[in-house]
Amino acid sequence: MQTSSGTEPNEPIDRSSPIYVAGHRGLVGAAVVQHLEREGFTNILTATRDELDLRNQSDVSEWFNINRPRYVLLVAGTVGGILANSTRPAEFIYDNMMIHGTVVHSAYETGVEKLLYLGSSCIYPRDATQPITEEELLTGPLEETNEWYAIAKIAGIKLCQAYRRQFGCNFISAMPTNLYGPGDNFDLTSSHVIPALMRKFHDSRSSADRSVEVWGTGSAMREFLHVDDLASACLFLLENYSGDSHINVGTGIDLSIRELAETIQSIVHPDAVINWDRSKPDGTPRKLLDISRLRALGWEPSVPLTEGLSSTYEWFLSSELAGQELRGIDSV
């Protein structure tokens, strides 16, 4: 049984410690690995999906027993935008519940010193008071387009708290707002709104028809965090926070989907014409996170949205994705 409380707040992690990034090929995991490398970590452990099925407890237990990570960043999961969430509920709830369960349990069994679990802002009730504080969790019904994913993510928070309470594990949780950045999934059936709109405006540049279909009414409000900022917040929390409550990670600023679409239009194809497809759902009306707790700990986001959108589009252009039919990559 693990009894240590692990790294205490403000204690830097030894850069040669074995640190496992679960989900290193996803948007978040790739950014986390890059950030750890920039910060001087020399023993970063990873495993591809072919090497390790994170949904299989015996495989995960064996991997932990062999590799013995001291720290774990649990940023793996099956993720996707509003359409994928509502059309593939079984995958979203099963994959995520299994992945969280196996990794948390193996981390406990092998005496991992500290684990950071990554949730999502969709854990909060659809009609939560804005901006949303951590206390809003489980105070009302969830948004129906993503309740399967949200339930799995809430279970992940509770797993960490349960292992902390029963076994003294130093497992913490971070709840990021909507994310974007280089390495995102640009497949239109499973992507989130930013890569979807970049892809659509980009494709309209080479099409005779300048119209771009944007889903919903445009009135939904969203907050967006660059994935490099999230990677920085994950390491910051690992080194500076050891509490029971999950911590929100965001920018504290949101905008409407209409404003977002117009901003992406101005970056990618100003002559395009936006057509609103009101048959598609808006999803939750607003989910702006209150980030006072994280700010009080001493962390601030650093990438302004327009700058992050421009650099993400540059990444898209420089990657091989811009000229290709995309495959459905939607797991982190």
> Which residues contact ligand GFB (rule: CB under 6 A)?
81-83, 85, 120, 122, 145-146, 149, 178, 191-193, 196-197, 214-216, 220, 222, 257, 280-283
Nearer CB in complex with ligand GFB: 29/216? 216
Q: Are 97 and 46 in contact (CB under 8 A)?
A: no
> Is 241 among the residues known to form the active site?
no
Q: Of 162 and 188, which CB lies nearer to ligand GFB in the complex structure?
A: 188
Residue with tokens 């948007």: 27
Q: How far is the CB of 282 from ligand GFB (least distance, A)?
A: 4
Q: Which spans in the chain are helix H?
A: 27-38, 57-67, 82-87, 89-109, 147-167, 193-205, 227-240, 257-268, 292-297, 305-318
The CA distance from 197 to 218, in Å, is 13
Catalytic residue from among 108, 149, 163, 313: 149
Question: Cβ closer to ligand GFB: 106 or 204?
Answer: 204
Nearer to ligand GFB, 220 or 233 (CB): 220
From residue 289, give the alpha-carbon distance in Å to each of 84, 124, 214: 23, 10, 24
CA-nearest of 3, 29, 41, 9 to 181 is: 29
User: Which residue's CB comes closest to ligand GFB?
Assistant: 81
Q: Report the DSSP beta bridge partners of residue 215.
A: 277
Least distance in angstroms from the C-beta of 311 to ligand GFB: 19
Return the ∠ at Cα 317 (arms to 311 and 321), rounded to 5°.
Answer: 120
Shortest distance, CB of residue 92 to ligand GFB, whole angstroms? 7
Nearer CB in complex with ligand GFB: 47/123: 123
Tokens of 130: 């804005």
- Residues with catalytic function: 149
